[in-house]
Amino acid sequence: MNPKRTPSSFITALLAGWASLQGLPAAAEPVRVPQTVSAQDVSPAILEAMRAQEELSEEQLLRRLSFEAWAPRIEQEMRQALGASFGGAWLNEDSTQLRVGVTSEEGAALVRRAGAEPRRVARSLAQLERVMAELDAHRRDAPPSVHSWYVDLPNNRVAVQVEDAHLLQSQAHAFIARSRGAVDGTIQVVASPGAPRLVYDVRGGDPFFVGGARCTVGFSVQGGFITAGHCGPAGATVTGYNGVVMGTIQASLFPGGDYAWVVTNSSWTPQPWVNKLNGSNAIVTGAQAAVVGASVCRAGPTTGWRCGTVTARNATVNYAQGSVHGLVRTNVCSEPGDSGGPWMSGSQAQGMTSGGSGNCTSGGQSYFQPVQPVLSAYGLILKTGTALTASDLGGWMQISP
C-alpha cells in the first residue's frame, strides 16, 4: 500500500516528471517556456488582430503567444498541487509572468519551483467562489443599479459593479448584504463604467426590417451599413433579424439609383463579413469592380448563396416605380427579400441586389447596384478585413485544414 502523499511531496514529484519531459533537471530552477506555437494554441484570426493592435515585433508576439499557451498548463498543475490554498492564477500586464495566489509560504515555494511568481493572498479561490455562489443564488433580486459581479483575482476580492459606488442605493446594499463576503471584506463595491447591453454584429447577407418589409444588409461601413434604396426612405427605423432596433436610414436614393445608408446604434458593431448562409462568413477585403464575364456570388436570406457571372455593366432598368441606371446585370437568380444583399467577386465587394426577373426555381437574372457610387455619394468607408493565408503568418505557424 502506497503511503499518502502530502501536497509538498506531490508537487515535487509532479515537477520532477514535468522537468524530465522537458529535458530539464528536476531541481529548483524555473521551468523554461516553450518557444513554438501550434495552430491549436492560437487561431489565425486572433494572430492577425494582435498584429494590428499590439505594437510588438514578430519575435515579441511569438514569445507572448508561447507564454500564454504555456500558462494554462502550469495553472492546472498549481490548482491541483496547492488544493485549498490555491488563490487563482493570472498573467501580469504584458503577459511575461504567470502569478499564482497562495495563502501560505509553503505554497509560495512550490509556485517558485514551477517557474511562476507567487502572490500572498488572504483568501483562496475556493473562498472567493463561495461568495460568488452566494450572490448568484440571489441574482434575480439584483436591482438595476447593480451591473455585474465577478472574481477579481489580482485584487483577491469579489468585485460588485454598481451604477454609483459612492451613493450605494439601499436596494443594492440589501442585495450585497445577502452574502457573508459583505461582512469580512471579500466583497468590494466598484463604480461601473456603464450599464451593460447586448452587442450584435452587422453582417452582409443578414435580414433586416423596415416596417413590415424585409430586406438584406449589403456591406458594413464605418458607423453602419449600405443596402438597396428601395428598402426604405430616409428617416425610417431599421430593426435587425433579432427584433432589436439597429438604427435609422440616414439617406436613400430610389429611383435614379438604388442605394441607402443605415446608421446603426451602439448595440451593433459593423463587421467586414458576408454571411454565406451555410454556417461560414466571407471576409471583405476591398471593392475592386469585376469585369464582364467574371464570377460573382450573392447572399440573400430568401434564396441563400448563389453564384454566376457578370453579363453587362452600366445597365439601365425600368422598374414600375421608375428607372435606375448604372446597374450591373448578372445571370444569377434572386427573389423578394434578397433585396439589398451583398454581391462579391472573390473577396471584393461588388454591390447590393436591386432587382431582376424570373426566380430561383425556373431561372432568372438579377441586377445589382455597384458599391463605389454609394461610398462616394455619402463619403463612407467600407469595413474590410484580411483574408489570411499561410504566407501571411510569417512561415512560423502551420494552419490545419
Active-site residue identified among 85, 252, 258, 338: 258
Q: Report the relative pairing of strands 98-102 and 117-120 from DSSP bridges.
A: parallel
Number of Cβ within 10 Å of residue 17's Cβ equals 11
CB 212 within 8 A of CB 181: no
Q: Which three cell numbers stand for residue 99?
A: 502569478
Active-site residue identified among 339, 345, 354, 366: 339
Backbone angles phi, psi at 337, to 5 degrees: 100, -25
What's the angle, vertex CA 278, arms to CA 204 and CA 284, rounded to 5? 35
Which amino acid type is present at position 76?
Q
109 burial (CB, 10 Å; 0-12 / 13-18 / 19+) is middle
Q: Which three cell numbers stand for residue 58?
A: 514578430
Rounded to the nearest 10°, the torsion over CA 226, 230, 235, 237 is -80
Active site residue 147: no
Give the span between the Cα atoms of 59 and 333, in whole angstroms.
Answer: 50
Active site residue 258: yes
Active-site residue identified among 147, 230, 252, 334: 230
- Cα 349 to chain centroid, rounded: 22
Of the CA atoms within 13 Å of residue 98, those in its CB half-sphere come to 29
Q: Report the relative pairing of strands 281-283 and 268-275 from DSSP bridges.
A: antiparallel
Active site residue 339: yes
Q: Could you list the active site residues?
A: 230, 258, 339
